Structure 1
Amino acid sequence: MSAALTLAACGTFDGGTASSSDGDEQTLTVSLQFTPRANYALETDDALVLTQVGCLETLLTYDDEAGALRPALATEWRQTAPTVWEFTLRDGVTFQDGTDLTADAVARSLRHVLDADTPPRAFTPESVSAVEAVDDATLSITTPEPSALLPYRLASGNTGILARAAYGDQGIDPIGHCTGPFTPVSQVAGQSISLERNEDYWGEPAEIAHVEARFIAEGATRATQVQTGESQIALGVPVTSLADLRDDDDVEVTEEFTPRTTGLYFNLARAPFDDLAARRAVQAALDLDAMASGVYAGGAQPAVGPFAPGELWAPEDAVAPTRDPAAAERLLAEAGYEPGELSLTLLAYTERPEFADLAAVVQADLEAIGIDVEVRSSNYSAIEPSLLEGDFDFALLSRNHLTDIADPLGYLTSDYSCAGSYNISQHCDQDIDELLSSANTMDAPEDRATVYGDVARHLQDEAITAFIVHEQTYAAHRTSVSGFVDDPLARYAVTADVTLGRS
């Protein structure tokens, strides 16, 4: 999961449900994995909910298959000076409240997230100095230092654009203030959001008239709803439900490689994991093959570091650690701990249904070398304060390294730089910070890949995180649905291309 879902908050608009279908007026119901918790504040992961349901749009979008940026609300972008980029806005776009998309409106929207108490990792004062309207159709963004990656930041859901009226004292109100193919009309706070087709959409209008998006944290429930027809699309289907779904002739299961790696994040700021030997002991104790084949039913592969083999950024010689309990025991003794002396708490969250089984395997593997582990599992919002405050031993986290920006720099900076906004590991190495700073100025992806490979090797060799598996993502939809694509970057679910036939 992309990081820092903030604590739960009330919704910003009235409850209700989507209208019923009349004649050809079709309603699509989709079961989403995560619940908005921050009044749709765009600096949080709530922004992804708004992009998934077809409301919020960004200046650019990232084509993960082509590995390239594509136009969205902006049609052109160019670097006019070493620290200045200009973006030309798409002509004729209006917000759903009828106001025009202008450079001034875009600048106000982007400055809102830039000025947030906790700006999103993709768009911070450390990466952006100023956002200004040049004229109605041209936006200028200045960076503190030359940055080849500034356009990638404008493809992040956190930099989605809302109309000026969306920003109120009580939070974000998305009703009538997006530009996407669907506009929100009501919500039941913490349960669902209802949308209708945007008849004035700048692109091809959607065929579907109504969308009901439900927030279902329990993976098995999402799977059941798509089987019963309560929903037509379910995201984040757990591997334990795949067999039943695949046996259902009315359901299609999709699987996609995702740039997502699950790992044990150590708290390096306190014992025992302030000691390299203790971290390596845990790394050597874990049976990654058993986890990938058992917990993930073969739908994952043992991790060779933060990046999977075959990704541009993975070192060519990277291999997954093999389980070696004898070496783990020696390393634990080197760190000064006798068997049975260490008692630790492992944090996990329920939005990832596989974490219950994964935590149990970690617990058993560490018990075998004399470490007692208590597992504390709850929804993410309940454990996040402990993570951000550094009040934990270690935690299971699933991190997508292209969600913040469509380049690993965002993830590596937030998680592993000295001042990283999600550096829960408390990792700080000035050499690594200098490497990441150098990558920001590199135009060629191959040059940046060399830097990221060096950082990945450091993280693995120093056991900064015990990387466990590289994941696939699974989704399910009724066979009556066409045009649905399970986005490996978790940005989109309901798009104008999705249609619903008669089953």
Structure 2
Amino acid sequence: MDLGAGAEGSLVAAIAGEPDQLDPHKTTAYFSFEVLENVFDTLVEPDENLQMRPALAKSWEVSPDELTWTFRLRENVTFHDGSPLTAEDVVYSYRRIIDEQLSNVDKFSAVTAVEAPDAGTVVIRVSRPTPNMLTNLGGFKGMAIVSRRNVESGEIATNPIGTGPFSFRGQTSGDSITLRANPDYWGGAPSLTGVTFRFISEPSTALSALQAGEVDWTDSIPPQRVSQLTEDESLTVAVTPSNDYWYLALNQARAPWNDVRVRQAIAYAIDRDAIVAATSYGTAQANQLAIPEGNPWYTSYDRYDSGGIDKARELLAQSGASPRTMDMLVTTDYPETVTAAQIIADNLAPLGITVNIRTVDFATWLDEQNNGNFDMLMMGWLGNIDPDDFYYAQHHTDGTSNAQKFSDPEVDRLLDAGRVETDPAARFDDYARAATLIADQVSYIFLYNPSVIQAWTPALQNYQARRDGAVRFRNATLDTDGET
């Protein structure tokens, strides 16, 4: 039976870009995770309130000294190729991330051993208390349990095999990826027969396809249309506050961006409200830190609210630097970056800085970021839950996503302390102080917290837009007798 686009009971979802790759341990692209969230599982996972719940692990316990975590696996879980899931698969998945130093290796910084005493038990030993262990192992960002055979054959790059509610069926480069329902899914077979993810980068095109019934769901929505669409009874529209954030990063391996006064000058000159208006039409919240208001880890901060261009000129004069050009790296795959870049260019022109906007595809953007070939770049950080997710990889000297080469001993100390502090009030204080220093020292110029904006046909039921941006179709149903 063909489970491609248009098949009965099969969902067609429009996403804004093509996954850069299908190996969940190696990708950092949101487009990849949108697809792979439905193919792979994690040991534990966040519910709709971002509280960690059982997934492949049905239960767990922590030793009194908080140095040993023991997870009991569900019985009778199989990979999509029919092979059984065992504790050895979990050990292999985690050791792969650790041994190959993959993108989430920092989440295992305290781990001294990952063991499988029997087929149904995983033991993780740590060198220090790890209050965020569950959030480190859960979520949808790169912590999937993979099949050793799938990895070692190299097929994970083109035919990923997981334990999730949908299995990979095929990919047409530049067009779509198709999944089919996994009838043996441990959480119960999905109601949908499959999901086809179409790549539609232009939001107005995706919206037109949704309105025409060519697709059933999309998160590629023109933000200027949101207010109007919420009044449209022919669609279901969700605008959900998120824990994501968008930021600018200045390359501190290059002069003059290695001078904190120059970075602060840029931070004072940036008009966040104008960027929010242009990129999200009021659906986002300008913010000078990563964590949004309403989140229990929120810290108030408004240093860059006043002073503007005058303060920026003063700081540049103090530094003795007079930058004339800035190479700004943005990507067409995230149109927000292209839109914001022109505003930023206008913001910095009064300082005598000409911003040369370099617009590339996302794969090139990643290469240029990783090679340090930029003066400034703009990007978002998605799917955050614990404060460690917001800060460690990005701002610790040894962080795996510290492309801007920021290093501050006190920030390192506070981020290290937050990873082991079990007292909630003390841990909050560690992160509040770290966040303030990160903004003061301008590791990032934080811009805003966006909302998760999605729309779908009313025929799609039992689907929920989530604050962490995870796209889960496992429980969704599609009324094929109604109009779609």
How high is the TM-score relative to the length of structure 1?
A: 0.88
The one-letter amino acid of 2:376's match is F
Alignment partner, residue 231 of structure 1: 215
User: Does 2:71 align with 1:79?
Assistant: no
CA distance in 2, matches of 1:319, 1:234: 37
Q: Which moved more, 1:40-49 or 1:205-214?
A: 40-49
Write the mapping of 1:104-503 to structure 2, written as runs, cut at 5 A.
Answer: 104-121=88-105, 123-124=107-108, 126-157=109-140, 158-172=142-156, 177-242=161-226, 245-246=229-230, 248-316=232-300, 318=302, 321-322=305-306, 324-338=308-322, 342-400=324-382, 402=384, 406-501=385-480, 502-503=482-483
CA spacing shift, 1:252–1:76, aligned 2, 3 Å: same
| Distance across 1 between alignment mates of 2:106 and 2:301 | 30
Secondary structure, aligned partner of 1:87: strand
Q: 1:228 to 1:445 in 2, by over 3 A?
A: farther
1:287-332 CA distances to partner (integer Å, 9 max, x unpaired)?
A: 2222223432111122131222232223245566236222222222
Name the structure with the higher helix share: 2
SS of 1:167 mapped into structure 2? helix
Q: How many Å separate the matches in 1 of 2:302 and 2:311?
A: 20
Q: 2:236 is aligned with what amino acid?
A: E
Query: What letter corresponds to residue 310 of structure 2 in structure 1?
Result: A
Supply the distance in 1 between the matched residues of 2:387 and 2:10 (Cα, whole angstroms).
37
Distance in 1 between residues matched to 2:90 and 2:423, nearest whole Å = 29
The 8 Å contact of residues 218 and 351 in structure 1, kept in 2 or not, is answered as no
In 2, Cα distance between equivalents of 1:293 and 1:119: 33
Please report how far the alpha carbon of residue 17 of structure 1 lies from its aligned counterpart in structure 2 after TM superposition: 7.2
Which residue does the alignment assign to 1:10? none
Shift of 1:222: 2.5
Structure 1 contact 219–351 (Cα < 8 Å) conserved: no
The 8 Å contact of residues 121 and 414 in structure 1, kept in 2 or not, is answered as no
Question: Structure 1 397/121 Cα, relative in aligned 2: closer, same or farther at 3 Å?
Answer: farther
Structure 2 equivalent of residue 48 of structure 1: 33
For 2:75, the equivalent position in structure 1 comes to: 91
Where structure 2 has 5 or more consecutive residues not aligned to the other structure, the ranges are none
CA distance in 2, matches of 1:373, 1:168: 45
Aligned to 1:70: 53
CA shift digits 1:102-139 (9 cap, x unpaired): 21222223323333253424644x34332211112110
- CA displacement at 1:160 relative to structure 2: 1.3
When structure 1 is superposed on structure 2, of 195-204 and 362-371 the one drifting more is 195-204
Query: What residue identity is the alignment partner of 2:53?
Result: R
Change in 2 beyond 3 A, CA 1:176/1:452? closer
* Structure 2 CA distance for partners of 1:233 and 1:457, relative to 1, 3 Å: same
Aligned counterparts of 1:103 and 1:109: Cα–Cα separation in 2: 10
Shift in alpha-carbon separation, 1:448–1:174, aligned structure 2, 3 A: farther
Query: Given the superposition, is the C-alpha separation of residues 190 and 451 from structure 1 closer, same or farther in structure 2, using an over 3 Å criterion?
Result: farther
> Which one is further off, 159-168 or 345-354?
159-168
Tell me by how many angstroms 1:356 deviates.
2.1
Gaps of 5+ in 1: 1-15
Shift in Å, 1:64: 4.9
Question: Contact conserved, 1:123 with 1:159, CA < 8 A, in 2?
Answer: no
Against the structure 1 CA distance between its residues 321 and 171, is the aligned structure 2 distance closer, same or farther, given a 3 Å change threshold? farther
CA displacement, residues 424-471 of structure 1 (integer Å, 9 cap, x when unaligned): 121111221111111111234443222111111112222222212221
Choose 491-500 or 242-251, whichever is displaced more.
Answer: 242-251
TM-score (norm: length of structure 2)? 0.91
My pick for the range that moved more, 309-318 or 382-391, is 309-318
Instruction: Work out whether residues 187 and 194 of structure 1, in 8 Å CA contact, stay in contact via their aligned partners in 2.
Output: yes
C-alpha contact 1:30 1:214 (8 A) present in aligned 2 = yes
Query: Could you give the per-residue CA deviations for residues 62-104 of structure 1, whole angstroms, max 9, x where no partner exists?
Result: 1352x42111111111223543211011123222222222212
Q: Is the 8 A contact 1:51 1:492 kept in 2?
A: no
1: CA distance, partners of 2:120 / 2:174: 37
Evaluate the alpha carbon distance shift between residue 45 and residue 325 of structure 1 in structure 2; reply closer, same or farther with a 3 A threshold: closer
8 Å contact from structure 1 (residues 175, 183) kept in 2: no
Corresponding pairs, count: 478
Counterparts of residues 31-42 of structure 1 (less than 5 Å):
31-42=14-25
What percentage of residue pairs aligned between the two structures are identical?
25
Seen in structure 2, the aligned counterparts of structure 1 residues 257 and 319 have a Cα distance that, compared at 3 Å, is farther
Alpha-carbon contact 2:97-2:105 (below 8 Å) kept: no
Cα distance change, pair 191–111 in 1 and its aligned pair in 2 (3 A): farther
Task: State the distance in 2 between where 1:176 and 1:434 align.
Answer: 39
User: SS at the partner of 2:242?
Assistant: strand
What is the distance in 1 between the residues matched to 2:206 and 2:77?
A: 35
SS in 2 for 1:259: coil
